[in-house]
Structure 1
Amino acid sequence: MWALRRAYNPLKRRGFCIGTSRACGAKSELGSCHLDEKASVGEAAQVIADRSLSLKRFYSTTGDSSKFFMGRRSFSSQAGAKSSGEVDDDLEDGFSELESPASAEAILESNAEDENEDELISEPEPSEGDDEDAAVEEPQNELELSDTETDVTEKRSPRKGVPSALFKAIVAAPGLSVHNVLDKWVEEGNDLTRAEISLAMLNLRKRRMYGRALQLSEWLESTKRLDFVERDYASRLDLIAKIRGLHTAEKYIEKIPKSLRGEVIYRTLLANCVSINNVKKAEEVFNKMKDLEFSITPFACNQLLLLYKRFDKKKIADVLLLMEKENVKPSLFTYRILIDTKGQSNDITGMDQIVETMKAEGIEPDINTQAVLAKHYVAGGLKEKAEAVLKEMEGGNLNGNRWACQALLPLYAGLGKADEVGRVWKVCESNPRFDECMAAIEAWGKLNKIEAAEAVFDRMLKTAKKLSSKHYSALLKVYINHKMLVKGKDLVKRMADSGCKIGPLTWDALVKLYVEAGELEKADSILQKAVQQSQMRPMFCSYMVIMDQYTNRGDIHNSEKMFHRMRQAGYMSRLRPFQSLIQAYINAKAPAYGIRERMKADNVFPNKALAGQLAQVDAFRRTAVSDLLD
């Protein structure tokens, strides 16, 4: 573990050194733990100056110790240490499914845990039952709530992907009549075993039919048809969080028998906090788990790592220190997160060191980890290294490693190798899966082969009875990247004509399509109409792509308007909107009166980059010229 921390956080490059951290850990046992600014150098000095990171609460081993928020500020929700100018859409509450299906972030999110007890189901196979409504809030993290002893055989069962009769009956029912269907199912003498229920629930979850899954769970509990164990309550909690929100989910926990409110219950709540990027609530839940003296698991730590990878990379070192102190062994997914974090920071040397550490611990990179590595090699211009990793992924026999094709297609396209993309697609072409088709569309789009991308999409149309918005989005992204407004509009019309639901994912595509075409006002109008005509909430990035354009123009009025709309939509207490808003004032060369107070009211605290922006819009700052004039 020490080797992992050193690989992630080299002493020569990071002031947040092991010695200082250990000292902090030691102090925490006594009382308070404010890191000494003199003990750190470089960027850590600024971190400590801005955030007195108190680790006592993070390292405490009893439930009656002092509160998490110690000193001036602690390991808390004032996150957002993005570097200057960095715009990262993974700060969204709903992640755009228009992003690359083989991107490092998508691979991390769709394969969020490899261990049996903590596995998150990957992106489900599309079906006629795909519902965009269900995927608005959490299109990546689908929690498979199970324990190691009871579910390993179920997950390895050949029936896992086969829809059950119960599932088919539930899907065929009108939306709000699942209870009636289940009553009829029992009256007709059909089996209602735990195995049948589990298979139906799994199929509903894979297709993101969370509403129907929740109705099934409610019926089972109300009719006493199933003796609920902890994982059943956890599954119900997960569905409530997805459908009705975290507040309702927390209230449900109080209704669970106290004897069954174990670690699985709270890690379920934690995962849902992370899936919607609620930093403050995630930290509160993690602290609650500490208070209840639950053992710290790799799953819980990985959730924090995912969260801080998006919001505050500096806190990753603290999580690693916690894992070392609590003797929590990193999982393959832990390494994958760290590799991707280093890659995002363009630290290829650090990324390679983490891979070496992982191998030294006896853990070999799986195909998803290799895809993350290859992506960052491609982005860093290290073509030889990328090609070597891609060949390893193929394993010498691509037909035998068919499941690697989805990741290989866009990666070869990133290298500009059209021949290799064609070779890989040929393996899939005779009987392609939907995810392979979407990857092929993306790959041909990257290579500027629009007709080839359209041909793959047409193949999907002929194969499936009905496509979901996710499948249309693959081709829409190609049109967006090539500023093909007319074709994009025509494709959206085809979506509507086919009966496909037009929701936040499609709105996001349309907004980006018009922005890329230079029609900002039209993009703004589309988003506003979508809000007025639907109860669904637009995606965070849909607002930000418009706001950033107004910012670039120095248009304070419209930037403030978008900022207000985001608050109305519930996107509050975030650093990114404030960064964009303040930059609008900077570009307009105008002071931003009261901006610090507005941030404080939203519990948003500036990082180093934002502090520099604030100084530029401070109407009362003193300069050499102002002193002379006074």
Structure 2
Amino acid sequence: MWAVRRASIHLRNRGLSSGTARVCCGKSEIARWCLENYNAGITKPQGKLCDGLLSSKRFYNTQSSCSKSQSEIRNFSSKAGARNSEQEDDDLEDGFSDLEKPSYVAQESTSGDESERDDDLISRSELSEEEDVAEDTQNELEVLGTETDVEEKKSPKISAMTKAILDAPASSVSTVLDKWVEEGNEVTQIEVSLTMFQLRIRRFFTKALQLSEWVESTRHLEFNEKNYASRLDLIAKVRGISKAEEYLKQIPKSFRGEIVYRTLLANYVSCTNVKKSEELFNKIKELEFPMSCFTYNQMLILYKRVDKKKIADVLLLMEKENIKPTIFTYQILIDVKGQSNDIIGMEQIVETLKAEGLEPNSKIQTSLARYYAIGGLKDKAEAILKEMEGGDIKKKRRVRYLLLPIYASLGWEDEVERIWKVCEPNPQVRECMAAIEAWGQLERIENAEAAFDKLLEKVKKPTSRHFAALMKVYTDNKILAKGKDLVKRMADSGLRVGPLACNAVVKLYVRAGEVERAVSILNKAIKQKTGRLLFSSYLTIMDKYADRGDIHSAEKIFLMMRQAGYTARLQQYQSLLHAYINAKAPAYGFSDRMKADNIFPNKALASQLARANAFRKSELTELLE
């Protein structure tokens, strides 16, 4: 852990209190790095993660090193598109346990069939800009375990059961399966696992849930703990967390183990429900289940989004319980370092990873290259990218889609064109999506449109997610006319606007100054119930109302976010307070509202509060009025 120790040295002058240093003493070097890395601007003692975790309370001084990156550091990058065969570890960012994937699916195919598996993958940059990379849109499923033990081999073509369900309307899955059995087909665990996997990666959660219900009701298979956990996860996705909680009580007690509870925990985390996540984590410990690193990583994900100081608490507890970090644990720490632009610290975390006998996978390499690019270290970014290419990009198909957006972020159009020329004759869907994004970054709109046309050639039934990729290009480049035409094209195709597409359309209209139209689209998408809309869809509108000083409308969006299941965050309060300031209106009770949501102001928000307080009328003025 010496690399992490060195990574923390240059941070020690940031004014952390001695109380923090005492907690670190003699503990994990990774935890020490976390405690020393973040100065929260809080004077109040912080609550402990769980009972008995630490004997000392931590105090943070009032000096804050928060900057513009404060909001950016809350984002969780390295999202769905980075699925790879090199490291299918026990963790995933969107909080889902290892349920459906047969072990031989872990071997990534390089055949044409792979494009079918990638139909609904979305670009990494779209994911990394969202704080809630949760189930409904952002974190695509990284299934990592098995429901059955089968020998490893390459992923086969879509099975007969899968094809039958894919071709059937969601309302008739059970009827189709009954007919499928009547035709003499056998229902096996492998067949069901493969079908469930294919449905999940396409985000057909309703069909997947119906398949699970049909299997149990017809008693074709005997349910085990992973089957129950899978059902619970699907219920949470389709019917909501409360229904999943009810289903948990129905699961036989003998099957209510760590896998079931950690699956529910992952769904709490995906909704950023801090209170329930912490309560369930503590319950899992109280039940004395053998805990996996997956469970701890879920808490790291949670605190990465809402309270980075507590990352150290989790790491200290992992050390205490002898839970060895996985490569995904290091991925989280690398992302935190990279997002805070601490390149030296990021590199030393990588050294620590290697010292533990692990090697950076393509996901970590992509993160490193991206953070180098953002930091202006083009030579280091190029070195990582060339290492990923391995000398012959034609033989490295599974990394091409990762390279395209990063080369674009560096402004290297020739490199983007070189990679795309290799892909263009027979591109995978994810390569088309990455090319659309890359060309959009380079403001080569015609090239992005050509890549979109290639995408439509590959996908028989395009979804709103595919259209969202091009919509984002139009939005980022403020091409309103073409964006509107694409919306009409989606409508004519009978597509419902999913969360990603809705996000792009909302931003398109907001940037064009048509905020009311954006709100109308948001409301329609909510009524369609196509999945929980993205955090940034609401925040984009809220920010615009704040700029106008429209307190009523900003408060309304704030309430809508609560109704959508988003717990309060610093960004929301910053935006809302900005509305009060621009309206030159006093924000009565604002501090109390924040305390009730367990939100504590950083330096920037404290300054906003002081400004809003300046509008408060004196007692004498109020009496005279």
Q: TM-score range by the shorter chain?
A: 0.7 to 0.9
In 2, Cα distance between the equivalents of 1:586 and 1:526? 28
Q: Answer yes or no: is 1:390 the counterpart of 2:385.
A: yes
CA 1:42–1:22 in structure 2 vs 1: closer, same or farther (change >3 Å)? Answer: closer
Gap regions ≥5 residues in structure 2: 29-34, 92-96, 109-113, 123-133
1:157 is matched with 153
**Matching of residue 245 in structure 1 with residue 237 in structure 2:** no
User: Residues of 2 paired with 1:71 and 1:248: CA distance?
Assistant: 38
The 1:336–1:245 alpha-carbon spacing in structure 2 relative to 1, beyond 3 Å, is same
Match of 1:331 among 303, 326, 332: 326
1:566 matched to 2:565? The reply is no
Alignment correspondent of 1:610: 605
Q: Per-residue deviation at 1:393?
A: 0.6
CA positional deviation for 1:567: 3.5
Flag the 1:497–1:41 CA change in 2: closer, same or farther, 3 A. closer
State the SS of the aligned residue for 2:51. Answer: helix
In 2, the alpha carbon distance for the partners of 1:50 and 1:498 equals 55
CA deviation profile, 1:519-541 (whole Å, cap 9, x unmatched): 33332343345446667654321
CA pair 241-110 structure 1, distance change in 2 beyond 3 A: farther
Specify whether residues 109 and 518 from structure 1 end up closer, same or farther in structure 2 by C-alpha distance, changes over 3 A only: farther
267 and 82 in structure 1: CA distance in 2 versus 1, 3 angstrom threshold: farther
Measure, in 1, the Cα distance between the counterparts of 2:344 and 2:373: 14
Deviations 1:497-537 (A, max 9, x none): 22322233322211111122233333234334544666765
1:52 — aligned with what? 46
Match of residue 140 from structure 1 = 139
Q: Where does residue 310 of structure 1 map in the other structure?
A: 305
The alpha-carbon distance between structure 1 residues 246 and 324, as it changes in their structure 2 partners (threshold 3 A), is same
Deviates most, 361-370 or 313-322: 313-322
* CA 1:485–1:362: 2 relative to 1, 3 Å: same
Structure 2 CA distance, aligned partners of 1:210 and 1:274? 19
Please tell me whether the aligned partners of residues 89 and 541 of structure 1 are also in contact (alpha carbons under 8 angstroms): no
The aligned residue for residue 214 of structure 2 is: 219
Distance 1:10 1:315, change over 3 A: farther
Amino acid at match of 2:167: A
Distance 1:461 1:307 in 2: 36
- With 190-199 and 597-606 compared, the bigger mean Cα shift is at 597-606
By how many angstroms is 1:377 displaced? 0.3
- Measured after TM superposition, the shift of residue 316 of structure 1 is 1.4
Identity percentage of aligned residues = 55
Taking a change above 3 Å as real, the CA distance of residues 525 and 13 of structure 1, as seen in their structure-2 partners, is same
Deviations 1:310-351 (A, max 9, x none): 222222122221222222211111111111111110111110
Determine the C-alpha separation between the residues in 2 that align with 1:174 and 1:316: 44
1:115 aligns with 2:89: yes
Write the distance in 2 (CA, Å) between the matches of 1:455 and 1:115: 36
Q: Determine the structure 1 residue equivalent to 2:360.
A: 365
Q: Which runs of 5+ in 1 are unaligned?
A: 27-39, 61-69, 75-80, 96-102
Change (3 A) 1:296 1:128: closer
User: 1:428 Cα deviation (Å)?
Assistant: 0.9
Secondary structure of 1:391's aligned partner: helix
Q: Which moved more, 1:120-129 or 1:375-384?
A: 120-129
Q: Which amino acid aligns with 1:375?
A: R
Q: 1:142 aligns to what SS in structure 2?
A: coil
Partner of 2:166: 171
Deviations 1:202-244 (CA, angstroms, capped at 9, x unpaired): 1111211111111111122222221111111111111111111
Q: Secondary structure at the match of 1:50?
A: coil
In the alignment, is the contact (CA less than 8 A) between 1:485 and 1:514 conserved in 2? yes
Bigger Cα displacement from structure 2, 569-578 vs 334-343: 569-578
| CA shift in 2, pair 1:605/1:222, >3 Å | farther
CA distance in structure 1 between the partners assigned to 2:455 and 2:615 by the alignment: 60
Distance, in Å, in 2 between the alignment partners of 1:463 and 1:412 is: 24
Partner of 2:458: 463
Amino acid in structure 2 at the alignment position of 1:587? N
SS at match of 1:57: coil
Match of 1:422 in 2: 417
Aligned length: 580
Shift of 1:138: 4.5
Deviations 1:124-167 (A, max 9, x none): 955799699xx9725314263735xx65646x332x35211112
The corresponding residue for 1:432 is 427
- Residue number in structure 2 paired with 1:254: 249
Match of 2:490, as an amino acid? M
Distance (whole Å) between structure 2 residues aligned to residue 558 and residue 46 of structure 1: 30
Structure-2 separation of matches of 1:211 and 1:350: 43
CA distance in structure 1 between the aligned counterparts of 2:302 and 2:592, rounded to whole angstroms: 26
- 2:454 is paired with a residue whose SS is helix
The equivalent residue for 1:98 is none
1: CA distance, partners of 2:84 / 2:70: 22
Q: Structure 2 CA distance, aligned partners of 1:342 and 1:450?
A: 33
Moved more, 539-548 or 502-511: 502-511
Counterpart in 1 of 2:32?
none
Q: Does 1:20 align with 2:19?
A: no
CA distance in 1, matches of 2:472, 2:589: 39
Q: Indicate the SS of the match to 2:461.
A: coil
Structural mapping, 1:231-630, within 5 Å: 231-531=226-526, 537-618=532-613
Structure 1 letter corresponding to 2:574: Q
Shifted more, 255-264 versus 180-189: the winner is: 180-189
Q: Distance in 2 between matches of 1:262 and 1:620?
A: 55
Report the CA distance between 1:22 and its aligned residue: 4.9
Q: TM-score, normalised by structure 1?
A: 0.82
Equivalent position to 1:104, from 65, 78, 99? 78
Alpha-carbon distance change, 180 to 131 in structure 1, aligned in 2, over 3 angstroms: farther
C-alpha RMSD over aligned residues: 3.7
Stretch moving more, 103-112 or 534-543: 103-112
The structural deviation recorded for 1:488 is 0.6
1:131–1:454 distance in 2 versus 1, CA, 3 Å: closer
Q: What secondary structure is seen at the aligned counterpart in 2 of 1:176?
A: helix
CA distance in 1, matches of 2:536, 2:610: 27
The Cα shift of 1:86 comes to: 5.1
TM, length-normalised to structure 2: 0.83
| Amino acid aligned to 2:582 | N
Supply the distance in 1 between the matched residues of 2:353 and 2:532 (Cα, whole angstroms).
41
Structure 1 contact 466–498 (Cα < 8 Å) conserved: no
SS in 2 for 1:552: helix
Any conservation in 2 of the 1:125–1:207 contact (CA below 8 Å)?
A: no
State the SS of the aligned residue for 1:104. coil
Deviation at 1:292, TM superposition (A): 0.8
1:35 aligned partner: none
For residues 424 and 119 of structure 2, the distance between their equivalents in structure 1, rounded to whole angstroms, comes to 24
**Deviation readout 1:15-49 (Å, 9 max, x if unpaired):** 378752257999xxxxxxxxxxxxx99965844x2
Q: Secondary structure at the match of 2:415?
A: helix
- Rounded to whole Å, the distance in 2 between the matches of 1:485 and 1:317 is 45
Cα distance in 1 for residues equivalent to 2:73 and 2:10 = 26
Partner of 1:30: none
In 2, the alpha carbon distance for the partners of 1:272 and 1:109 equals: 20
Query: Which amino acid in 1 is paired with 2:270?
Result: S
> Are the equivalent residues in 2 in contact too, given 1:237–1:269 (CA < 8 A)?
yes
**Offset at 1:352?**
0.8
Whole-Å separation in 2 of the counterparts to 1:8 and 1:199: 45
- 2:223 & 2:3 partners in 1: Cα distance? 43
Q: CA deviation at 1:470?
A: 1.3
